[in-house]
Amino acid sequence: MKISTSLLLNALMVVLTSVPFIARVYAATYTNPILYADYSDPDVIRIGNHYYMVASTFHFSPGIPLLESNDLVHWTIVAHAVQRLTFDARYDLPGPLGFDDHSAHAQFNSGMGHGYSAGIWAPAIRYHHQRFYIFFPTPTEGIFMVSAIRPEGPWSKPVAVITQPNLEDPCPFWDDDGKAYLVHSIKGAGPLILHRMSSDGTHVLDTGRVIVQDAKNLPTLEGPKLYKRNGYYYIFAPYGGVETGSQAVLRSRNIYGPYEFRTVLSKGDTTVQGPHQGGYVETLSGDSWFIHFNSTGAYGRIVYLEPVQWKNDWPIIGNIIDDSTAGEPVTSHALPDVKTHATAAYPQMSDEFSSSHLGLQWEWNHNPDDAHWSLTKRRGFLRLDAMYAGSFLAARNTLTQVQFGRVSQFTVRMDAREMSNGQHAGLGMLQIQPNWIGIVKSEAGTSIVTSSAGVESKGITITQSVIQLRMNVHDEKVSYSYSIDDGKTFIAMGEWYEMHFSWWKGARPALFSYSIDASSVSGHADFDWAHVEQMEPARE
């Protein structure tokens, strides 16, 4: 079916606001999703009046955003727990790689020099003896831990708790008697394995014991989170796969089992595709809540908040239908009773590049080369040097942030006066088969170019150095435009391109600069600002 460009453009202009399309407060209620953004595999804890959430980041650096809230609905980013992916040289994205932008299957285990699909998988956050702990796996290196006294950091360097590949989704647990444990699954979602662990969380004390394995009733079991309540040990764990799975809870009087289980959250009659994998938390008032993700196509795995009720020491998550033991996701619900004033805070997005430090919304595609970007060489600008790369996906120092909402507008102002021949710089969508709009400089002149899956389309030749570039997102499609009169008018270029869920992550807006000419890498592009605006569509 063909999509009318004019109709979509008109839809984009319905409502324009500087507030992101995430949770809205209507009187004393909230509406799901609370974050229409790819904070996948969320886990959450409460410390006093504050809540802290972490999410997986895979090959993006810095890794593991730490978000803070005082009402479980509105969140801001306060830190990243892992500053750099030091586990393997491939996380540095070295050299012009042996794949191009048309490739749909750039995988880490191909040995081609990149970390796509690998990196930091589902983390778990806990607080023990006045210290924050985050445990996380990398699929090819093992299970690691970082810790900090304050959520803002500084966070310790990663400590290898288990040095073994193909492990997934670790969660620590400190019992009432002081003993420490670590539970995890196996890559591909296998059995749940429990280890005794040192009290400081730095290493396990045994080879582990399988405590849950039921391929018939709990297929693709993963993401375990271990809790204790009313004398029961509970494991919250999703099953059935990322796209269409459900949430199970297992319980036992003995931490080693045997465990009985129930499905406590499923799709039900809702349009939510596969509600599962997340974290359980209780408020100061004693209410119970569950934060989880839902796989939402190219937008990634977005975040929902569900009320939890307890019956006969079993939780039921979401909206209870009849006498079922499994709830379904709520569309809206009364705000959590947090006994404090709720602040309508939102994750950071726009950036004026006026600080000497990058905003917390930004993550690099793989580890950056810090010698080739700067916020201080030209005050008020982000400078990205043109390092040699064979393609957009192979380029280092591509700066990204999470895509917010189904409908959004992302605009950058860029100065191209010091670009070199062969250099490509601009604004794009980082994903499998990426697309972008930018400036390409060659001996023939400086041109505006769009690209999709590695196929470039040349536009007008320009003589001025300052240009604004814009992407519009609408229902898993993206279009591009540019302005040569400093934002007074924008000219559409290219078509509506497909967005893709890629390497376990949603598609992400990205600023880039690279050169396809290895002999001409002296140039750079200066970004004056990046403005993100949200258009709020009608709810489904």
| Catalytic residue list | 41, 222
Q: How far apart are the first and last CA of the chain?
A: 20
Residue 6 host element (H or E): helix 5-12
Using CA atoms, how far residue 74 sits from 15, 19, 253, 532, 537, in Å, is 21, 12, 36, 18, 20
In 3D space, the residue among 313, 132, 293 whose CA is nearest the CA of residue 234 turns out to be 313
Cis-peptide, bond into residue 258, ω within 30° of zero:
yes
- What count of other Cβ atoms lies within 10 Å of the Cβ of residue 242? 22
Residue 365 in contact with residue 510, Cβ under 8 Å? Answer: yes
In 3D space, the residue among 434, 425, 443, 450 whose CA is nearest the CA of residue 525 turns out to be 425
In 3D space, the residue among 434, 432, 433, 463 whose CA is nearest the CA of residue 448 turns out to be 463
Q: Between vectors from CA 190 to CA 219 and to CA 303, what angle results, nearest 5°?
A: 70
DSSP 505: B
DSSP 157: P
Residue 78 host element (H or E): strand 76-82
Provide the token pair at 202: 């730095």
In 3D space, the residue among 190, 170, 167 whose CA is nearest the CA of residue 182 turns out to be 170
